């Protein structure tokens, strides 16, 4: 489990996926691990879970105002 305070950035990836009729957006979550190293993982957010996603982002920002959240796709 990663503490919200350890999250460095959440950035939208160009990857997306479909499963049945649900679309998923990919995000790269970068964080600092317990040893102080930077690591990351890909996270898929279902389009149908938009409210949960907004709640998660607000919690991360509340605990860690320095977090960089970028949902733009270049």
Structure-token match 């460095």, residue found: 8
The answer, yes or no, to whether residue 54 has pLDDT greater than 70, is yes
pLDDT confidence tier of residue 21, bands split at 50, 70 and 90: confident
What is the value of pTM for the model shown? Answer: 0.83
Average model confidence (pLDDT) across the chain: 91
d(CA 40, CA 47): 22
pLDDT confidence tier of residue 32, bands split at 50, 70 and 90: very high
d(CA 27, CA 9): 10
pLDDT (0 to 100) of residue 74: 55
pLDDT (0 to 100) of residue 17: 81
């Amino acid at each position: 489990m990663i503490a919200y305070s350890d999250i460095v950035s959440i950035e939208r990836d160009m990857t997306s996926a479909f499963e049945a009729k649900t679309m998923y957006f990919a995000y790269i979550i970068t964080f600092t691990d317990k040893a102080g190293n930077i690591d990351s993982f890909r996270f898929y957010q279902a389009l149908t879970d938009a409210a949960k996603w907004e709640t998660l982002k607000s919690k991360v920002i509340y605990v860690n105002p320095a977090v960089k959240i970028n949902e733009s796709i270049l």
